[in-house]
Amino acid sequence: MWGGRFSAGPDAIMEEINASVDFDQKLAAQDIAGSRAHAAMLHDQGILSSEDAASIDQGLSTILSEIESGTFSFSRALEDIHMNVESRLAELIGSSAGRLHTARSRNDQVALDFRMWVRDQTVAMQASLSRLIEVMLDRADEHADTIMPGFTHLQTAQPVTFGHHCLAYVEMLARDRSRMADAYERMNECPLGAAALAGTGFRIDRHATANALGFREPSRNSLDTVSDRDFALEFLAAASICGTHLSRLAEEIVIWSTPQFGFVRLSDKFSTGSSIMPQKKNPDAAELVRGKVGRMNGSLIGLLTVMKGLPLTYSKDMQEDKEGVFDAAETLELCLAAMTGMIADMEISRDAMRAAAGSGYSTATDLADWLVREAGLPFRDAHHATGHAVALAESKGCDLAELDLSDLQKINSAFTDDIFNVLTVEASVASRTSFGGTAPDNVRQQVRAWRERLKS
C-alpha cells in the first residue's frame, strides 16, 4: 500500500500497533456504500469510464455479499477495512480497482464511514428510547393515583404518585432522544471529497455524493472535515447522559426491591439467585445497567483526551476514536433493552408505597400551606408553627393527623378542625394541581400529551 516510499515492510510490532481491521471491519457496509457512491459520481463526472464504473460496482457488491455471509477473509497485514476491501476488489476485477481511489483519501474515507455508522446509531437509539418511553408511559397511566413517598436526600419529603415518578424519567429519556436527534442534524454533512486535507483538483461533484449517501449537504472545509470527530464525541456525550439517567433509575429499582422498602418486585427474568443463600433474589440486571454506565463515561473521557492535543488535520491518534464508540453504542443499546424489559414486567406494591408515603411527617408542608391559605400567616411563620407541630408529634410518637386539635391550637390559635382534611396523603397528592404537579389528573393529562408527542 505504501508504494515506493518505503523499502521494507512493517515490523511485527508496528503491524500490531498499526492494524485496525480487527475493529473497523464493523464499518464494512458504510465503506462499501461510500465507495459505490464515489465511483458513480466519478463516472457521472467523466473521470471514470462506464466499463470501470460497472466493474467496480459489481465487485463491491460481491464483496459486501462475502462480508455479510461471513466468507470474506480479513487480513491484518492490510491494516484496515478500506485496504481490505480495495485489495479484494483488485483480486476480483484487476487493475481497474485502483481507479476507485481517484480524488479521495483514506482520511476522508474513514471520516465518511465512521460518521455514517454513528449517524445510524443515533437513529437506532432514538427508536430504543421511544420504546422505553412508551413503557414508562404505560406504567405512569396505570399508576397515576398510586401514592408513594417523594424523597429529597433519600428522606421522605412529600407524597407523590408512582405515575408522576415514572413521568420524571419520561422527561429525562425524551431529552436523551432529543440529544440524539440534534446530534444527527449536526453530523449530517458528507466528508467525502475533502481528500487528504486540502480537497482535490479533480472536477468532482460533492453535492451529488452527499445526496446519494443521504446527507443534507457536503462539509464546507476540507481541513476541518478530516480532523473532526465532534460527531463521535457528541454521540458519546449523549450516550453518557442517557446512561446516567438509566443508572439513576437502576439505583432506585435496587433500593425499591429491598425488603426494607418492598416497593417493587422484579420478575425472575431480570433477577439472579445466590450460590450460597437460597433466599436471595438479586436485582442483577439493574445493578449491571448501573455499572455499565462507567464504561460509557470512560469512552467519552478517552476520546476527549485523544482529541485535546491534536493539531490540524489528521493524526494516527485518531485511529483510537472507534472502539470506545462501538462499545458505548452496544452497551447503551443493551442497557435500554434491559431497562425496558425490567420496567414492563416489574410488579408494583401499592400497599407498601402507600404505607411509606405517610411516614416521616410527609404532609407537614400541607399543614404549613393551610396556615398560609386559611389563616393568612406569612409562610415563614407557618413553617415555624409546623416545625413545632412535627416536634410535638415526634414526642408523642404519633403522626400529624393524630394530634389533638387542642394541641395544635396551643401552637397557633388559627387551627380548626378543617386542618385534618389536608393531612392525608390522598389529599396532599390531589392538591398538587399546578402544572407539572403530581395530582393524578395531571399525570393522566401528561401521559396523553406525551403519547401525542411520540406519534408526531
The candidate with the shortest Cα–Cα distance to 60, out of 317, 199, 278, 52, is: 52
- Per the model's pLDDT, the better-predicted residue between 49 and 9 turns out to be 49
pLDDT at 3 over 60: no
CB-based contacts of 447: which residues, under 8 Å, 6+ apart?
A: 137, 140, 141, 144, 163, 167
Q: State the burial class of residue 95 (Cβ atoms within 10 Å of its Cβ: 0-12, 13-18, 19+).
A: exposed
In angstroms, the CA 261 to CA 252 distance is 11
Q: What one-letter code names the amino acid at 446?
A: Q
pLDDT band at residue 9 under the 50/70/90 scheme: low
Answer whether residue 1 shows pLDDT above 60: no
DSSP string, 327-392: HHHHHHHHHHHHHHHHHHTPEE-HHHHHHHHTSTTTTHHHHHHHHHHHH---HHHHHHHHHHHHHH
Residue numbers annotated as active site: 153, 274
Q: Report the chain's mean pLDDT, rounded to a whole number.
A: 94
pLDDT in tens, 361-375: 899 998 999 999 998
From CA 28, how far away is CA 110, in angstroms rounded? Answer: 11
Distances (CA, A) of 97 to 36, 82, 88: 12, 12, 9
Long-range contacts of 371-374 (CB under 8 A, 24+ apart): 371/412, 371/414, 371/415, 374/414, 374/416, 374/418
The C-alpha atoms of residue 120 and residue 135 are separated, in whole angstroms, by: 23
Whether residue 148 has pLDDT greater than 70: yes
Q: pLDDT-derived band of residue 6, with 50, 70 and 90 as boundaries?
A: low
Choose between 255 and 281: higher pLDDT. Answer: 255
Contact 144, 125 (CB under 8 A): no
Grid coordinates 455471509 are at which residue? 69
pLDDT given for residue 320 in this prediction: 94
CA dihedral 244, 247, 248, 254 (to 10 degrees): -170
Q: How far is CA 354 from CA 207, 358, 362, 428, in A?
A: 61, 7, 12, 13
What pLDDT shows up at residue 4?
57
Phi, psi of 32 (to 5 degrees): -70, -40
Average pLDDT over residues 84-91: 96
Cell of 397: 410518637
The secondary structure of residue 310, as a DSSP letter, is P
Rounded CA-CA distance 74/62 in Å is 15
Average pLDDT over residues 145-172: 96
Confidence of residue 385 (pLDDT cuts 50, 70, 90): very high
Sign of the alpha-carbon dihedral angle for 106, 111, 116, 117: positive
Max distance between CA atoms of the chain, in angstroms, equals: 100
Q: What is the pLDDT of residues 15-57, one digit of tens each?
A: 778 888 889 999 999 999 999 999 999 999 999 999 999 999 9
Average pLDDT over residues 332-348: 97
What are 333's three cell numbers?
443499546
Cβ burial of 5 (10 Å; 0-12, 13-18, 19+) is exposed
Cell numbers placing 302: 478517552
Whether residue 456 is predicted with pLDDT greater than 90 in this model: the reply is: no
Cell of residue 125, nine digits: 437509539
Distance separating alpha carbons of residues 121 and 337, to the nearest angstrom: 15
What percentage of the chain carries pLDDT values higher than 90? 85
Tell me which residue of 262, 245, 254, 248 sits closest to 149, measured CA to CA: 262
Contacting residues for 68 by C-beta, under 8 A, at least 6 apart: none
pLDDT score at 15: 76
In whole angstroms, give the CA distance from residue 107 to residue 211.
Answer: 20
Question: What's the pLDDT score for residue 273?
Answer: 77
